[in-house]
Amino acid sequence: MSDIEIIGAKQNNLKNINVTIPKHKLTVFTGRSGSGKSSLVFNTVAAESERLLNETYSSYIQHQLTQYQKPHVDQIKHLPVAMIINQKRLGGNSRSTVGTISDIYASVRLLWSRIGEPFVGYSDIFSFNNPKGMCETCSGLGYVEDIDLNELLDFDKSLNEDAIKFPSFRPDSWRGKRYLYSGLFDNDKKLKDYTNEEMDTFLYTEPTKLKNPPSNWPRTAKFEGLIHRFRRSFLLNDNFEKKRFKSDVDRVVSKHTCPNCHGRRLNDKVLSCKINGLNIAEFTNLQINDALAFLKQIDSDKARVIIEPLKQQLEALSYIGLNYLTLGRETTTLSGGESQRIKLIRHLNSPLTDLIYIIDEPSVGLHPEDIQRINDIIVSLRDKGNTVLVVEHDPDVIKIADHIIDIGPLAGKHGGEITFEGTYQELLQSQTSTGRALNKHHHLKVHPRHPNDMISIENINRNNLKNISTELPKHAMTVVTGVAGSGKSSLITTAFEHNEDAIFIDQKPVHASNRSNLLTYLDIFDEVRSFFSKHTGLKKSMFSYNSEGACPECHGKGVLKTELAFMPDFSQVCDMCGGTRYRPEVLDAKVDGYSIADILNLTVDEAIEKFEGYINITRPLQALSNTGLNYMTLGQSLDTLSGGETQRVKLSRYLTEDVTEKIFIFDEPTTGLHEDDLPILINCFNHLIDEGNTVILIEHNLTMMTEADWFIDIGPFAGDHGGQLLYAGEPKGLLDVKNSVTAKHLKRYIEH
Q: Which residue has the higher pLDDT, 563 or 287?
A: 287
Q: Of 389, 390, 382, 432, which Cα lies nearest the Cα of 410?
A: 432
C-alpha 214, offset from chain centre? 47
pLDDT in tens, 225-265: 999 888 888 876 555 567 678 788 888 888 889 999 999 99
What is the three-class DSSP state of 49?
Answer: helix
Quick count: other Cβ atoms within 10 Å of Cβ 676? Answer: 21
Please give the average per-residue pLDDT across 69-78, as a whole number. Answer: 92
CA distance 511 to 114: 45
pLDDT in tens, 180-201: 889 899 999 999 999 999 999 9
Residue 4's pLDDT is what? 96
Angle ∠(233,237,240) on CA atoms, nearest 5: 75
What's the whole-number average pLDDT of the chain? Answer: 89
Residue 237's pLDDT is what? 59
Element (H, E) at 19: strand 17-21
CA distance 604 to 633: 6
What is the three-class DSSP state of 3?
Answer: coil
Torsion sign, CA atoms 50, 51, 57, 61:
positive
Quick count: other Cβ atoms within 10 Å of Cβ 663? Answer: 21
Residue 734's pLDDT is what? 94
Residue 639's pLDDT is what? 73
DSSP state of 511: S
User: Does 444 have pLDDT greater than 90?
Assistant: yes
Quick count: other Cβ atoms within 10 Å of Cβ 268? Answer: 10
* Per-residue pLDDT band at 464 (split at 50, 70, 90): confident
Q: Of 345, 340, 365, which Cα lies nearest the Cα of 89?
A: 340
CA distance 563 to 585: 29
Phi, psi dihedrals of residue 182, rounded to the nearest 5°: -75, -25
Residue 646's pLDDT is what? 81
User: Does 567 have pLDDT greater than 70?
Assistant: no
Give the max Cα distance, the chain: 84
Residue 1's pLDDT is what? 62
Residue 752's pLDDT is what? 59
CA distance 684 to 627: 7
CA distance 735 to 289: 30
Residue 721 burial (C-beta neighbours within 10 Å; 0-12, 13-18, 19+): middle
pLDDT in tens, 161-180: 989 999 889 888 888 888 98
User: Does 438 have pLDDT greater than 70?
Assistant: yes
Phi, psi dihedrals of residue 365, rounded to the nearest 5°: 80, 5
pLDDT in tens, 729-751: 999 999 999 999 999 999 998 87
Identify whether the C-beta of residue 517 lies closer than 8 Å to the C-beta of residue 635. Answer: yes
CA distance 577 to 649: 29
Identify whether the C-beta of residue 667 lies closer than 8 Å to the C-beta of residue 507. Answer: yes
Residue 573's pLDDT is what? 82
CA distance 695 to 734: 19
pLDDT in tens, 676-717: 889 989 999 999 999 999 999 999 999 999 999 999 999 998
pLDDT in tens, 586-604: 999 999 999 999 999 999 9
CA distance 91 to 470: 34
Q: Which residues contact 573 (CB under 8 A, 6 or more apart)?
A: 558, 559, 560, 579
Phi, psi dihedrals of residue 212, rounded to the nearest 5°: -125, 70
Identify whether the C-beta of residue 751 lies closer than 8 Å to the C-beta of residue 375. Answer: no
Query: Considering the chain, what percentage of its residues have pLDDT values greater than 90?
Result: 56
Please give the average per-residue pLDDT across 7-18, as a whole number. Answer: 94
CA distance 390 to 592: 44
CA distance 210 to 212: 6
Identify whether the C-beta of residue 568 lies closer than 8 Å to the C-beta of residue 59. Answer: yes
